[in-house]
Amino acid sequence: MSSSDVSASVEERLAALEAVAAIERLKHRYWRACDRKDVAGFRACFVASGADIDFERMGRYDDADGLADVFARVALRRDEAGRHLVLDMHHGLHPDITIVDRTSATGRWTLRFRQLDLRARTEKVAAVEYDDAYVVEDGEWRISRCVARTLWLITRPLPEDVRIEEAVA
For 144-159, the pLDDT digits (tens) are 999 999 999 999 999 9
Angle at 74 between CA 70 and CA 78, to 5 degrees: 145
Higher pLDDT, 10 or 2: 10
63 part of a folded domain? yes
The residue-averaged pLDDT of 9-21 equals 95
For residue 129, what is the domain's CATH number? 3.10.450.50
37 part of a folded domain? yes
147 part of a folded domain? yes
Q: How confident is the model at residue 120 (pLDDT cuts 50, 70, 90)?
A: very high
Q: What's the number of domains the chain is made of?
A: 1
In the prediction, which pLDDT does 167 show?
Answer: 82
Q: How confident is the model at residue 6 (pLDDT cuts 50, 70, 90)?
A: low
Nearest to 85, CA basis, from 57, 121, 60, 61: 121
Domain hosting 50: range is 10-157
35 part of a folded domain? yes
In the prediction, which pLDDT does 43 show?
Answer: 98
Dihedral (CA of 35, 36, 38, 41) sign: negative
In the prediction, which pLDDT does 169 show?
Answer: 58
103 part of a folded domain? yes
Percent of the chain with pLDDT over 70: 95
Residues 6+ apart with CB under 8 A from 155: 122, 123, 124
5 part of a folded domain? no
How many residues are listed for the chain in this entry? 169
2 part of a folded domain? no
164 part of a folded domain? no
Q: How far apart are CA 120 and CA 1, in angstroms?
A: 47
